Amino acid sequence: MNVVMPPESFPLSRLREKAGVRVGATGRSALIALIVLLLGGCAALDPRYTKTPGGVPIDITYNSKGQDSRVLFLILHYTVVDLPMSIKILTEQEVSAHYLLSDESPPRIFRLVDESRRAWHSGPSVWKGHRMLNASSIGIEIVHPGYRIVGPDKQRVFQPFSKEQIDALIPLVKDIVARHQIRPDRILGHGEVSPQFKVDPGPTFPWARLAAEGILPPLPDASRVAARRAEFDTNGVPDIAWFQKMLAEHGYAVEQTGKSDEQTKNVLTNFQMRYRPSNHSGLPDAESAALLWVLTTPLDHKAKP
């Protein structure tokens, strides 16, 4: 059992050593004054000690094995607005992110919130039962316009991300992930954790490149997807209850209503934006079913119906 040595029990000679003081005959009163000063602050001189504002020493000699970062998730966003407006909003309003990646050439990275503190980027958010992910995540905002509304039928056309911007993002993500030991399956888009309200970073975000870089889990195996898709094409696309069950199993928050409803469409849209970005209608189809099946069925797993 460790006994905490109070600062007052430190030998005075040691205090003199630490302070580098040589005492002459005439220096006695100065020494006393110095000792009084040091008695109040000597705990701070020893790296083993810190102390409470009340003066109680806290010994930090030992360090527990059982601990990890409070950061479990990395959430990626786009800002919709340009850099000056992004800085203004993220620094002056009740919304923030740890990092802001500019769309300049070359891009700049701004740290707006220290990683030890909570940034307000994800609001109401859920993943696999984890809720309110601001408390357990790092948020990165990417300056990007989102989508433009085009044509008479008001099509949403999502804008591309520049290679230069993603080149700047990847080392930042790798560094954060390494320092906090964030699991690859917990690197997510805002739309995935808040599917009823958000779609960012959208279908043009290069998830496949992040997977190829080893940051994310590997993409669903193409041959398994093709085989399962052929079965669904032959035997019919599973019903909406199946989709709701699989989406929830993968991690999304989706109500198990058994009905084709708006909330399921929003979740499926976000799923497709990430795993099948060429078509993100939010409607069930054989390819989406096959992707979901492969994602939720590891190779050594007993086959699901």
Among 247, 175, 251, residue whose Cα is nearest residue 213: 175
Structural tokens at position 70: 């409070």
- What does the alpha-carbon distance between residue 115 and residue 98 come to, in Å, rounded to a whole number? 6
Residue nearer to Zn ion on the CB measure, 122 or 264: 122
Half-sphere exposure of 193 (CA within 13 A, CB side): 29
Three-state DSSP at 281 gives: coil
* Contact residues for Zn ion, defined by CB under 5 A: 77, 190, 200
**Which one-letter amino acid corresponds to residue 125?**
S
Residue nearer to Zn ion on the CB measure, 196 or 260: 196
Q: Which strand ranges, in their side-by-side order, compose the sheet holding 99-101? A: 109-111, 99-101, 137-142, 73-78, 187-189
Residue nearer to Zn ion on the CB measure, 49 or 205: 205
Q: If you search the block for the tokens 């279908």, which residue do you land on?
A: 203
Residue 173 has φ and ψ, to the nearest 5°, of -60, -45
User: Least separation, in Å, of the C-beta of 259 and Zn ion?
Assistant: 28
- What does the alpha-carbon distance between residue 274 and residue 38 come to, in Å, rounded to a whole number? 60
- What does the alpha-carbon distance between residue 27 and residue 63 come to, in Å, rounded to a whole number? 42
Residue nearer to Zn ion on the CB measure, 103 or 200: 200
Residue nearer to Zn ion on the CB measure, 190 or 280: 190
Length of the chain: 305
Q: Which segments within the chain are labelled E, that is strand?
A: 49-51, 57-59, 73-78, 99-101, 109-111, 126-127, 130-131, 137-142, 147-150, 155-158, 187-189
User: Least separation, in Å, of the C-beta of 248 and Zn ion?
Assistant: 22
Contact between 271 and 263 under an 8 Å Cβ cutoff? The reply is no
Q: If you search the block for the tokens 């005492």, which residue do you land on?
A: 23
Alpha carbon of residue 59 to chain centroid: 32
Residue nearer to Zn ion on the CB measure, 144 or 229: 144
Strand pairing report for 99-101 and 109-111:
antiparallel
User: Least separation, in Å, of the C-beta of 198 and Zn ion?
Assistant: 5
Contact between 157 and 147 under an 8 Å Cβ cutoff? The reply is yes
Q: Which residues are catalytic?
A: 141
